[in-house]
Amino acid sequence: MTLPQFPGVRVRARRGGAVWEIAADRLHDVQRLAVTSVGLGSITSLDLVVAHWRAPVRAWIGRPGLAGLTGLQVEPKGTGVRLRLAVAKPVDAALVLAAAVRCLRPVATGDVGPMLTFTPGLPAAAASLAGHLHDVLLPVEDRDAHVRRCDVLLVGDSDPAVVPDRGDTVRIAGRTWTRNAQEFDVSVDPTIHRPVGRRSVASGAIATARVADGIVTIDTSSGPVVVADQVTAANVDQLRSTIAVLGKGLPPQVEHQLRACGIVVGPAAQDLPDATDHLAWQAVSVHERRHALRMFGPAAVLDTWPEVSVVLVTHRPDHLERAFAQLSRLRYPRLEIVIGAHGDRLDGARVWELAQSLPYPATVVAIEGARTLGEALQICSDRATGALVTKMDDDDIYGPEHIWDLVLARQYSGAQIVGKALDWVYLESSDTTVFRPTYAAEKYTDFVAGGTMLISKGDLAAVGGWRPVPKSVDRALLDRVLHDGGLVYRTHGLGYVYVRHSAGHTAAVRDEHFLTKTTATHSGLVRHVAFGTDTDGDAGGST
């Protein structure tokens, strides 16, 4: 058996190759090892030490998703972690390594996406998919030869043994991935190039970059950061406090990767927003990271953007026009709307008429007024056909890219629930919008804005669905997911405004609370394209 070797990884086999002992610098090195180990041999035990590793939240351990597991031990080791894993009978080493990755890195669960089958000879460029490695196809394998058991077959550039009837084939050659004769530039790895830790305010340093002989050197306040060919996980850590990089001639892949991390990239200082304009800074950063993650990540090739069902329960006739205006502005390629008409105050014919005007498939569900909000949400979620369900409120403000932001955050965080930060609040009583980033954005947490929560239908069912309670529905679901060992992730708050009415709001907190710890205030409802409020017509009516 020829063992794979990479910089940052040392592999040793014992007991005739049945036991692998691995020392890796970072988890991404293990991901590279996993995808390149397909077909190299079967093992029964893995002893893995990762020198630099930190759990997303304290005491978190992921789920290996591997049959025949007889032992699993995860313990801290210095600045990293040690993982021991054993199985009852020999399993392809790549499958065991992928199980270890899932134990140490959050991987989104519960949705129905394309099944990936990995073949021998894949390059390390496929490392971002290691968490989804559950099936391998070996040349000597004759099991279920007549069955198409995969949706997408992943092959390396030099592999001639492609079986067409096994499904769509994606050929991976470095950053160039090919599917159906169409080439894609996959230069962004969302397990590395992601904005985790990026805050809503423009706090941080501006660095300059220079390029010589293909090597990028970014001069930061804490010293030079050297980027050779691509931004590594170590580079991302080094650039955590950098908000912008200025320089000309950067390789395209480096620009994409920096932007995916939330770093603003430009040729000169005059191209940057004003240092005191937090909204402008966040708008540029979010726009660039959104574009990089959507266009240059593996999902663009695999076409794995899941269908999303928006669930909106309303019992207030005076909020119908606003709610449907919000829904009409949403941009996402696979979207359906489920409206819960809760109680007898609503004109059913009017709700149905508005639903037919939406640019997406819509379902209207009549719900008895005696039902609690939690029960109403569950009834609507049961009618949803999307793999993911997200809750929207009938009185809050949602920007056009709101759904995209949640789906992308779920992809790079791997959390069971994602939602937005409660950064922007409109106070009707004073006709003021406050920017109040008191809850840090881009962070694993236990709280997100309730009107933005997104979860897979599978994960929702696994924790028993929405709780049948009249209020605190959001908190009840968050607690159930956390108690089940799941993760909650709070992405940025751009594109969402929480609206506080003068009377009749269900929350117990008084308006005065939101006037404390503010970073900026705007007279009236904040006007910006990110919120869909840049013109009066786009605002969905006066607040």
pLDDT digits (tens, 9 = 90+) for 182-240: 999 999 999 999 999 999 988 889 999 999 999 999 999 899 999 999 999 999 999 99
pLDDT exceeds 60 at position 99 = yes
Q: pTM for this one?
A: 0.94
pLDDT digits (tens, 9 = 90+) for 336-358: 999 999 988 888 899 999 999 99
DSSP conformation class of 241:
T
* Lowest mean pLDDT, pick from 138-142, 228-232, 299-303, 317-321: 138-142
pLDDT exceeds 90 at position 151 = no
Quick one: average pLDDT of 9-33? 94
pLDDT over 70, % of the chain:
92
Query: Are 300 and 187 in contact, with CB atoms under 8 Å apart?
Result: no
pLDDT exceeds 70 at position 123 = yes
Quick one: average pLDDT of 366-385? 96
Q: Residue 18: which pLDDT band, with cuts at 50, 70 and 90?
A: very high
CA distance 414 to 409: 8
pLDDT digits (tens, 9 = 90+) for 430-462: 999 999 999 999 999 999 999 999 999 999 999
Quick one: average pLDDT of 120-135? 95
Domains of the chain: residue spans and CATH: 9-185 (no CATH), 205-299 (no CATH), 305-539 (3.90.550.10)
pLDDT exceeds 80 at position 44 = yes
Token pair for 359: 């640019």
pLDDT value at residue 1? 63
The better pLDDT of the pair 423, 161 is held by 423
The chain-wide mean pLDDT, for the chain, equals 91
Q: Residue 510: which pLDDT band, with cuts at 50, 70 and 90?
A: low
pLDDT exceeds 80 at position 87 = yes
Q: How many CB atoms lie within 10 A of CB 510?
A: 10
Query: Are 155 and 170 in contact, with CB atoms under 8 Å apart?
Result: yes
- Phi, psi dihedrals of residue 302, rounded to the nearest 5°: -75, -15
Q: Residue 115: which pLDDT band, with cuts at 50, 70 and 90?
A: confident
The one-letter amino acid code at 35 reads V
pLDDT exceeds 90 at position 275 = no
pLDDT value at residue 541? 37
Per-position DSSP letters for 368-422, written without gaps between them: -TTS-HHHHHHHHHHH--SSEEEEE-SSSEE-TTHHHHHHHHHHHH--SEEEE--
Quick one: average pLDDT of 73-78? 96
Q: Residue 542: which pLDDT band, with cuts at 50, 70 and 90?
A: very low
- State the first-to-last Cα distance of the chain, in angstroms, to the nearest integer: 68
pLDDT exceeds 60 at position 504 = no
The better pLDDT of the pair 218, 6 is held by 218
pLDDT value at residue 76? 96
Rg, Å, the chain Cα set: 24
pLDDT exceeds 70 at position 506 = no
Contacts of residue 200, Cβ cutoff 8 Å, sequence gap at least 6: 278, 282, 421, 423, 437, 440, 441, 492, 493, 494
The better pLDDT of the pair 384, 138 is held by 384
Q: Residue 370: which pLDDT band, with cuts at 50, 70 and 90?
A: very high
pLDDT exceeds 50 at position 540 = no
The one-letter amino acid code at 518 reads T
pLDDT value at residue 105? 97
CA distance 473 to 375: 10
pLDDT exceeds 90 at position 298 = yes
